[in-house]
Amino acid sequence: MLIRKNGRHPPTTQILLIKRRGSHGAGTWAPPGGHIDFGESVIDCAKREVKEEVGVEIKNLKVLGFTEDIFKEDKKHYITIWVNSDWKSGETKTNDREFSEANWFNWENLPKPLFIPLKNFAESKILPHAAFSGQARPNRRFGIKPE
């Protein structure tokens, strides 16, 4: 779930990231997100997860595509569905049982290390590629530079 604030174009655009804890990827920076509930739509899941996890409301949600994310050490293979949104309202929680920090970061200066799904997104490994035909790839489109 990409949540943008302060405009849609770098260098003013910021993205909300959390520093994960207590799960695979602990210590890495990631956007808020989580598992989809049975019968829930992707958009409803995104709204729910963001509200539960970081306490903010979002608007202008759009599904961008997905990444295949392999965590070799944990022997896990995830499909991450990427949803883009804009911050609507609310104060961001500063910590939670799932994360130790949360903050807004400039697209040009993301913290490290990045969670594998975000790293894959930043490296333009988003699928389907056809979704971006005639458009800039995601890393340029959203102002993310690969590590």
Domain that holds residue 17: 2-141
Do 131 and 64 touch, CB atoms closer than 8 A? yes
How far does the chain reach from its first CA to its final CA, in angstroms?
A: 19
Q: Is residue 51 part of a domain?
A: yes
H helices of 5-66, where? 42-54
pTM for the complete prediction? 0.84
Residue with the two structure tokens 């911050």: 87
Question: From first to last of its 147 residues, what are the pLDDT tens digits of the chain?
Answer: 999 998 766 667 899 999 999 888 999 999 999 999 999 999 999 999 999 999 999 999 999 999 999 999 889 999 999 999 999 999 999 888 889 999 999 877 899 999 999 999 988 888 886 444 444 445 544 544 444
DSSP string, 94-121: S-BTTEEEEEEEETTS--SSBPHHHHHH
Q: Is residue 99 part of a domain?
A: yes
Q: Is residue 147 part of a domain?
A: no
Q: Is residue 130 part of a domain?
A: yes
Query: What is the structure's pLDDT at 114?
Result: 97
Do 31 and 118 touch, CB atoms closer than 8 A? yes
Query: What is the structure's pLDDT at 142?
Result: 53
Q: Is residue 146 part of a domain?
A: no
For residue 113, give the nearest of 25, 52, 11 by alpha carbon.
25
Q: Is residue 73 part of a domain?
A: yes
Query: What CATH number has the domain bearing residue 34?
Result: 3.90.79.10
Residue with the two structure tokens 């333009």: 124
Q: How many domains does the chain have?
A: 1
